[in-house]
Amino acid sequence: MSITFYEHSKTFRLDTRDSSYLMAISKYGDLLHLYYGDRIPDEDLSYLIELRDRGFSPNPHEAGNDRTFSLDFLPQEFSTSDSGDYRVESIGVRNADGSRIFAGKAAGHTIYSGKYKVPGMPSVRALEGEGTDTLEIRLKDAASGVSVVLYYGVFEEKNVITRAVRVVNEGEGPIRLEKLMSVTLDFKEANYDWITLDGRHMMERHPSRSAIRNGVQSVGSTRGSSSHQHNPFVILCEKTADEDRGRCYGCSFVYSGNFLAEAERDQYRQLRLNMGIHPTNFEFRLEPGEDFFSPEAVLAYSGNGLTGLSHIYHRLYRENLGTSPYRKLPRPVVINSWEAAYFDFDEEKLLNIARESLDMGVELFVLDDGWFGKRDDDCSGLGDWKVNRHKLKGGLSGLSEQIHEMGLKFGLWVEPEMVSEDSDLFREHPDWHLGIKGRPATRGRYQLVLDLSRKDVCDYIIDSLNRILDEARIEYIKWDLNRNITDVWSGQTDKERQGEVMHRYMLGLYRIMDEVILTHPDVLFCGCSGGGGRFDPAMLYYQPQIWCSDNTDAINRLKIQYGTSFVYPISSLEAHVSICPNHQTGRTVSLATRGIVASGGILGYELNSTVLDREEKELCRKQVEAYKENYALIADGDYYRLTSPFENHYVTAWQHVSANRTQALVSLVLTDTEGNDGQLYLKLKGLKKEAFYRINGDEERRYSGAVLMNAGLPIPGTLKQYEGIQFKLQQIMEGTL
């Protein structure tokens, strides 16, 4: 059992293979945080809590005249509200009497084998036979009757602790939940940096690192999705931490909607980290006996730098997130019709693109937007999930059959959460979208958002998608979301409960995915939201790969894929080779370099194959062959960021290493050059120091892992700007040092 309770010291101890997490119940019943870090053998760390009289820090009633005890400075597992702790709170609740106080005291706990469940929402799951344990701790506010249950899931071998919270109204009147954090993590000192993944549409998940300063810093989303702008993941790390050294803490939020991550350095140079649903547009009414479950947060700790932290999340999300068989299967190499045809196509044009792609080695043809309803541009047709017979005379089934006769599989694009005002669906159900009665609608991409808090709307989407999947042979679905949410108001929800709509939207979305995606395990679902606008663990639960960005420029993608790799496994990054000049930036990069960059994720193509010449198709075929040969290394190997495209303006390089460290794939792109430049070197990582390796099967020379990691390899001076190289290492013998 990885969880222990010591009765004599009232201490809880949670152990993973390499980390320990300790907390204790104070003499007044408060749950105090003691330690999270490298694994330690100690049972009682109460000596770390120094009590002293601090001015203007109130003392709880039960402490009497003990002025040394104040929640204003004590590290907590779940902070009180309006009862003496002035830092950012874990909970905001409006009690039945109108007060906002929550003063929860420990009121029992349970320890059991296995992983707790999060009802109605995705969460990390325990594998069969995997040692996973759960701790539940109940905090009760006796005066209001509000109880909070803290859930801790310990994945011992994965070095992960998951967190979730359930609020229960055990009082006699209704309460309003105004804020709820899935995790609060208190540190006794705040000499840390924090790293967030920030950006915008087409330039997502750029790492931003800054020192924790006095006061509150936060990132989040109120856009109705996890967003292009800020990802629901943060890192706290020592100031000296780098890729290979230093203490690093990660917090990842398994939720696709509005979120908040806030860090506060308080008056005593302590640090509090909160993460949960964003309080904006959130308010949940709980009648007596009702409860509310928060989404899950995933904590990880590494004493071996940022790479060590990434490896923990990569392994967990590859193996324990979702049930799709594609988690363990090679993904097909797709060619997508979007940048080849946009809305301008008919059946013959699509068949020509598919036919001309056969020599490229692709395995699956994806029909993107424009196949349904009256859909000749992005101003009409959304919601009408019936085939446009003017474009596809044989319908989806006819097109799919012809694609399969070529030897390719068939995929399709959908955007089920949206509706166009110029659509049959809108004309029949003008009240089915989110929008405030009496106010003109706010449009995005000239479309409105369907009200997924309504059961009838969800039923329509479920029936429509299941019908599409049943009427044609489809092996791949690209599920898109092309605007953020505004006008959060539902005509079917009482005015006193409008604050529930945004979260109920997410619950509705997860219900749709449960009844469509999970009932079609043989279909590979790919997530998308204008590219990477909803790239989060909850989406990966349903969709094992996500379109990384609408920006297919290979040089921009180096930064996007670099930032994404800090938390998300390479097997989740769908990356395509597109045409040049690039449609987003106008840049021209060689087809060879585009292939190297795209094979840094799940390789595919986003171009018109009918305009490629024979040499270009042959190069694509060789890219696909190399990618498939190295697929296990790319998708399941340990990933190393060799250089940062934000710090090294000359070279961006990365490396995939097999679990037994006998093979490695190294990729490099030269991003800038200077005249008469000095020699550049690339130092590798993750190899066995004492082993010897050959590069690309070269029999003439061997290299020790030690020399490759310490001296490195010279980067060819003949490389020109935007050119790249990729080479494979194979261990040939063990040695001694």
> Residues 469-503: pLDDT tens digits?
999 999 999 999 999 999 999 999 999 999 999 99
Mean pLDDT of 679-690: 96
What number of other Cβ atoms are within 10 A of residue 734's Cβ?
10
- Last residue in a domain, options 613, 636, 659: 636
The per-residue b/e assignment along 191-224, b for 16 or more CB within 10 angstroms, e otherwise, is ebbbbbbbbebbbbbbbeeeebeeeebbbbbbbb
DSSP letter for 624, please: H
Report the alpha-carbon distance of residue 356 to residue 620 in Å, rounded.
Answer: 12
What integer pLDDT is reported at residue 462 of this predicted model?
Answer: 98
- Last residue in a domain, options 291, 319, 347: 319
Are 205 and 274 in a shared domain? Answer: yes
Catalytic residue among 480, 536, 553, 638: 480
**pLDDT tens digit string along 342-365?**
999 999 999 999 999 999 999 999
CA 503, 505, 510, 512: dihedral to nearest 10 degrees?
160
Query: Is residue 326 situated within a structural domain?
Result: no
- Residue 581 preceded by cis peptide, ω within 30: yes
What integer pLDDT is reported at residue 736 of this predicted model?
Answer: 60
Residue 244 falls in the annotated catalytic set? no
Are 632 and 702 in a shared domain? Answer: no
What integer pLDDT is reported at residue 737 of this predicted model?
Answer: 58
Are 411 and 483 in a shared domain? Answer: yes
Q: Which domain CATH number covers 9?
A: 2.70.98.60
Are 244 and 339 in a shared domain? Answer: no
Mean pLDDT of 316-332: 94
Task: For residue 327, give the nearest of 573, 546, 543 by alpha carbon.
Answer: 543
* Main-chain dihedrals φ then ψ at residue 730, nearest 5 degrees: -130, 125
Are 677 and 626 in a shared domain? Answer: no
Q: Are 326 and 544 a contacting pair, CB within 8 Å?
A: yes
Distance set, CA 718 to CA 554, 684, 723 (Å): 20, 21, 10
What integer pLDDT is reported at residue 676 of this predicted model?
Answer: 87
Total domain count for the chain? 3
Query: Is residue 349 situated within a structural domain?
Result: yes
Residue span of the structural domain in which 308 resides: 3-319
DSSP count for the chain of H helices, then E strands:
13, 38
State which amino acid sits at residue 713: L
Are 669 and 612 in a shared domain? Answer: no
Residue 431 falls in the annotated catalytic set? no
**pLDDT tens digit string along 381-423?**
999 999 999 999 999 999 999 999 999 999 999 999 999 999 9
What integer pLDDT is reported at residue 80 of this predicted model?
Answer: 84
Are 242 and 161 in a shared domain? Answer: yes
What integer pLDDT is reported at residue 103 of this predicted model?
Answer: 95
Dihedral-angle region of residue 696 (phi above 0 means left; psi in -120 to 50 means alpha; beta otherwise): left
Locate 20 and state its tokens: 């320990």
Q: Are 383 and 426 a contacting pair, CB within 8 Å?
A: yes
DSSP letter for 372, please: B
**pLDDT tens digit string along 224-263?**
999 999 999 999 999 999 999 999 999 999 999 999 999 9
Task: For residue 257, give the nearest of 506, 604, 630, 602 by alpha carbon.
Answer: 506
Does the pLDDT at position 735 exceed 70?
no
State which amino acid sits at residue 307: T
Query: Is residue 327 situated within a structural domain?
Result: no
Quickly list H helices, 34-142. Answer: none
Are 127 and 54 in a shared domain? Answer: yes
What integer pLDDT is reported at residue 734 of this predicted model?
Answer: 75
Query: Is residue 325 situated within a structural domain?
Result: no
Are 646 and 628 in a shared domain? Answer: no
Q: Are 222 and 280 a contacting pair, CB within 8 Å?
A: yes
Locate 424 and state its tokens: 């049959």
Strand partners, 336: 366
Looking from the CA of 645 toward its CB, the CA atoms found within 13 Å total 25
Query: Is residue 138 situated within a structural domain?
Result: yes
3-class SS at 141? coil
Query: Is residue 541 situated within a structural domain?
Result: yes
Locate 156 and state its tokens: 């011992």
Report the alpha-carbon distance of residue 355 to residue 335 in Å, rounded.
Answer: 11
The per-residue b/e assignment along 617-652, b for 16 or more CB within 10 angstroms, e otherwise, is bebbeebbebbeebbebbbbbbbbbbbbbeeeeebb
Catalytic residue among 30, 186, 550, 553: 550
Q: Are 414 and 478 a contacting pair, CB within 8 Å?
A: yes
Are 486 and 592 in a shared domain? Answer: yes
Query: Is residue 487 situated within a structural domain?
Result: yes
Report the alpha-carbon distance of residue 125 to residue 323 in Å, rounded.
Answer: 9
Percentage of the chain modeled with pLDDT above 70: 100
Report the alpha-carbon distance of residue 302 to residue 15 in Å, rounded.
Answer: 13
Percentage of the chain modeled with pLDDT above 90: 96
Are 339 and 272 in a shared domain? Answer: no
What integer pLDDT is reported at residue 511 of this predicted model?
Answer: 98
The per-residue b/e assignment along 480-509, b for 16 or more CB within 10 angstroms, e otherwise, is bbbbbbbebbbeebeeeebbbbbbbbbbbb
Q: Are 36 and 301 a contacting pair, CB within 8 Å?
A: yes
Vertex 467 angle, CA 464 and 468, to 5°: 90
- Last residue in a domain, options 270, 291, 319: 319
State which amino acid sits at residue 341: A
Residues 6+ apart with CB under 8 A from 686: 638, 640, 655, 657, 661, 664
Confidence band for 1, pLDDT divided at 50, 70 and 90:
confident
Are 649 and 629 in a shared domain? Answer: no
Does the pLDDT at position 272 exceed 70?
yes
Report the alpha-carbon distance of residue 384 to residue 461 in Å, rounded.
Answer: 10
Q: Which domain CATH number covers 403?
A: 3.20.20.70
Query: Is residue 324 situated within a structural domain?
Result: no
